[in-house]
Amino acid sequence: MTQTRSSEVVSGDGRYSDHRHSRPLTRRKAASGRRLAGTVLPVVGTLVVFLGIWLAVSYLVLSPERREILVPPPQQVLTESILRWSHLRPMLRALLLDVQVSMIGLVIACVLGVLAAVVMSQSSWLERSLYPFAILLQVVPILAIVPLIGLWFNYGINGRVVVCVIIAIFPMIANTLFGIHSVDRGAHDLFTLNRATRWQRLIKLQLPGALPSMFAGLRISSGLSVIGALVGDFFFVQGQPGLGTLLSTYIARVQSADLFAAILLSSLYGVVVFALFTALSSLAVGSWYTAARGTRPGG
């Protein structure tokens, strides 16, 4: 007489299988489904609430005459602007220009920001001397210096890129410098015992340790670069128009449906850029950084 363990079951063809191996897989699938639902459902819920508020304001708060000018309902924006190629095409062309401007500005801001932070981290007097100028870039009213930027760098794509750099560079400087200064003191002592040079300490210890902070700054700067591209469009109207130029045109012509469509398109681009760099940050430093934090006392 053949006996089977309680964990084994007989399949339809008479073979035995161990259902203990299927339990972890089932639990992983269930956990994955819960994570997906926890990510998607809040976004869908927020979108539904947003559309509900939009419809309520359009139909319950505003009269029909004011509705056409101030807050056209979402279905009107969809049919009159987004689904009409003659209206959507200039928006997409403007969006493509803003993508180029914002990405070029972001790359320049990242490179200059990291270099400035590295320079300031090497000496306390350099940090005290240069950091106030970095703060000045953050607090200066960008609208006040836009005319100067136009005079110095022309009113085309160069001026718009400079605006993006000015707006986006400070988070890269501040976060990189914070990350470099936050490296564990014990690791510094270990490098000192091994008589590491300043260059070896920077390349093998400080910059790798500052990666999480650098990517946090990159996420912030990516969103600010989109804002910089739109701000530059508002004032630098020469050459191909960007979304900011179209927004000012739609406001002047009282094209409310097109105005809302352009706002939604620029907002969607900003969300996509932020999500892209958030995913890049998770891929680059997420797993080992989370593991490292989990091994600390109290982590």
So where are the chain's domains?
A: 32-71, 72-294
Q: Is the pTM of this model over 0.95?
A: no
Neighbours of 45 (CB within 10 A): 10
> Which runs of E-coded beta strand occur in the chain?
8-10, 16-18
So what's the pLDDT on residue 25? 61
Question: Tell me: domain 72-294, CATH 1.10.10.10, correct?
Answer: no
List of residues 6+ apart from 63 with CB closer than 8 A:
none
More confident residue, 261 or 12: 261
- The Cα angle at residue 103 between residues 180 and 178, in degrees rounded to 5: 15
Work out the pLDDT band at 33, boundaries 50, 70, 90.
Answer: low
Q: Report which DSSP code applies to 42.
A: H
Q: Which helix (H) or strand (E) holds 170?
A: helix 157-181
Structure tokens at 135: 């703060």
More confident residue, 295 or 181: 181
CA distance 181 to 127: 12
Residue 202 has pLDDT above 90, yes or no: no
Contact present, 170 and 137 (Cβ < 8 Å): yes
CA distance 81 to 261: 6
More confident residue, 12 or 252: 252
Give the mean pLDDT of the chain: 81
List of residues 6+ apart from 122 with CB closer than 8 A:
198, 202
So what's the pLDDT on residue 288? 52
Q: Which whole number is the average pLDDT over 200-218?
A: 86
Work out the pLDDT band at 100, boundaries 50, 70, 90.
Answer: very high
So what's the pLDDT on residue 231? 85
CA distance 105 to 57: 37
So what's the pLDDT on residue 62? 80
* DSSP states along 94-151: HHHHHHHHHHHHHHHHHHHHHHHHHHHHT-HHHHHHHHHHHHHHHHS-HHHHHHHHHH
User: Distance of alpha carbon 64 from its chain centroid, rounded?
Assistant: 38
Question: How many CA atoms does the CB half-sphere of 125 hold within 13 Å?
Answer: 0
Work out the pLDDT band at 20, boundaries 50, 70, 90.
Answer: low
Q: Which whole number is the average pLDDT over 85-96?
A: 91
Q: Find residue 17's DSSP bridge partners.
A: 9
Q: Which of 39-43, 94-98, 170-174 has the lowest mean pLDDT?
A: 39-43
State which amino acid sits at residue 21: H
